[in-house]
Amino acid sequence: MRPAEFLSKEISEHTEVLNHLAAAVAPAFSHLVERCIAALDAGGKILFFGNGGSAADAQHLAAELVVRYRVNRPALAAIALTTDTSLLTACANDFSFDDVFARQVEALMTARDVAIGISTSGNSPNVLKALQAARAIGGVAAGLSGRDGGAMVGLCDPLLVVPSPVTARIQEMHILLGHALCELIEQHAQAR
């Protein structure tokens, strides 16, 4: 396939998923915004985590809140649990890679915080374990997933499931949803 044809196909597939996104996630998205704003208003924080591209999304979204999204405003409390290589490798070595996020949730999360696990399949063991830890602490266990939501269904409240089986399309929608979340949180922070 020629590059121009391939690009057209990719854009068409992206647009198809985008056209179904709002209907698939609107109630859960509203719930996530409310939970994040309530956490920050109560002096809590938002913890983001995931693997691979989802790890990059976790870092990206935490940076948008701590630094800024669109406007200069006071920093908002957000942490990406994907960035400390010493912690990640020590935990993977001494315990298990499945524990790398749960161990941090146990150390850093309180009942007033929101944990947002990101997994395109909804089945990443280390994401699931961290969400279970968040629930045990009494915090909000939220998630971004795709396909059928995987094992995150029933574990996350809220859970935003992108209606696609294609990892690339799911990741594209996750960052769109993340940006929308950051903007609404930022607007709320500006209005206070």
Cβ 118 vs Cβ 174: under 8 Å: yes
**Cα 144–Cα 163–Cα 112 angle in degrees, nearest 5:** 20
Alpha helices in the chain (DSSP H): 3-41, 53-66, 85-94, 102-108, 125-137, 167-191
d(CA 153, CA 8): 33
Domain of 131, CATH number, reads 3.40.50.10490
The count of domains in the chain is 1
Encode pLDDT of 2-18 as tens digits: 999 999 999 999 999 99
Q: Which of 179, 175, 192, 191 is nearest to 69 (CA)?
A: 179
Q: Quick one: what percent of the chain has pLDDT higher than 90?
A: 98
Taking every pair of Cα atoms in the chain, the longest distance, rounded to a whole number of angstroms, is 53
Section 50-58 average pLDDT: 98
User: Domain of 61?
Assistant: 3-191
Encode pLDDT of 120-152 as tens digits: 999 999 999 999 999 999 999 999 999 999 999
d(CA 127, CA 140): 14
For residue 161, give both structure tokens.
């499931």
Regarding pTM above 0.85, the answer is yes
Place of tokens 């146990």: 106
